[in-house]
């Protein structure tokens, strides 16, 4: 007496045959989890969403509304905009990594006053919105910068600050920031939200 395996049942309630003749060829269907009505043979394998009557615009609006709810709940939790909170956390992390002080004179009274000064040209300025980018992009930009207080920054633009001090500071930045090149914000504990 041959061993008989019960037929699989699709979520719609229909049985899934083990084999079927499709386009003149005998096909093995024993590995399927959906019947031929729910998921026709040869159709792309993707997550089953059922038949939908939504247009792509309606789906996008629904996704936007979901993100808006998430954003609002985070705003209420933090007491401020979650995006600006994320940017300031990330900027603080980079400033702390560089020593939380001016790299030429050692000023550290007000960390928010410190500027990223580009000494090797710039692709984009390191303003608050820059800290929303991928870590690898920010690291490549920080490698061109040194952390300066407003006075030293003005002195450099006026040509008074010693280039030797800037080169020493740039070497320190390279030593401190280069290990972050292969990392991500999430690995550092600074995810998007």
pLDDT at res. 3: 61
Q: So what's the pLDDT on residue 49? A: 57
Residue 178, pLDDT score: 86
- The tokens describing 42, both together, are 């040869």
| pLDDT in the model for residue 33 | 84
Query: Long-range pairs for 152-158 at CB < 8 Å and ≥24 separation?
Result: 152/102, 152/104, 152/105, 152/107, 153/115, 153/117, 156/117
Mean pLDDT estimate for the chain: 85
Position 193 confidence tier, pLDDT thresholds 50, 70, 90:
low
Domains of the chain: 7-51 (no CATH), 83-182 (3.40.1800)
Task: Please name the residues in contact with 118: beta carbons below 8 A apart, sequence gap of 6 or more.
Answer: 125, 144, 145
- pTM of the entire structure? 0.61
Q: What is the pLDDT of residues 97-153, one digit of tens each?
A: 999 999 999 998 998 899 999 888 888 888 888 888 888 888 888 888 899 999 999
List all residues 6 or more positions away from 132 whose beta carbon is below 8 Å from its beta carbon.
83, 86, 87
**Would you place residue 48 in the very low, low, confident or very high pLDDT band (cuts 50, 70, 90)?**
low
Q: Residues 90, 97: contact at Cβ < 8 Å? A: no
When pLDDT is averaged across residues 77-97 and rounded to a whole number, the result is: 86
3-state percent breakdown (helix, strand, coil) of the chain, nearest 5: 45, 10, 45
Which pLDDT tens digit goes with each residue over 30-43?
888 888 888 888 87
Q: State which H helix or E strand residue 89 sits in.
A: helix 82-97
Instruction: Give the three-class secondary structure for 20.
Output: strand
The pLDDT of residue 102 is 93
């Amino acid at each position: 007496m041959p061993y008989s395996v019960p037929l699989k049942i699709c979520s719609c309630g229909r049985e899934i045959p083990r084999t079927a003749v499709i386009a003149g060829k005998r096909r093995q269907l024993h590995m399927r989890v959906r019947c031929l009505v729910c998921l026709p043979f040869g159709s792309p394998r993707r997550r089953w969403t059922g038949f939908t009557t939504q247009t792509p615009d309606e789906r996008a609006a629904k996704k936007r509304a979901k993100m808006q709810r998430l954003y609002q709940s985070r705003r209420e939790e933090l007491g401020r905009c979650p995006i600006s909170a994320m940017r300031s956390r990330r900027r603080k992390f980079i400033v702390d990594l560089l020593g939380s002080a001016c790299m030429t004179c050692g000023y550290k009274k007000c960390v928010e006053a410190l500027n990223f000064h580009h000494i090797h040209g710039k692709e984009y300025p390191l303003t608050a919105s820059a800290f929303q980018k991928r870590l690898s992009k920010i690291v490549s930009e920080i490698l061109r910068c040194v952390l300066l207080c407003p006075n030293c920054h003005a002195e450099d633009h006026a040509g008074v600050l010693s280039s030797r001090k800037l080169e020493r500071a740039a070497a320190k930045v390279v030593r401190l920031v280069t290990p972050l090149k292969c990392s991500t914000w999430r690995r550092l504990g600074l995810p998007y939200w």
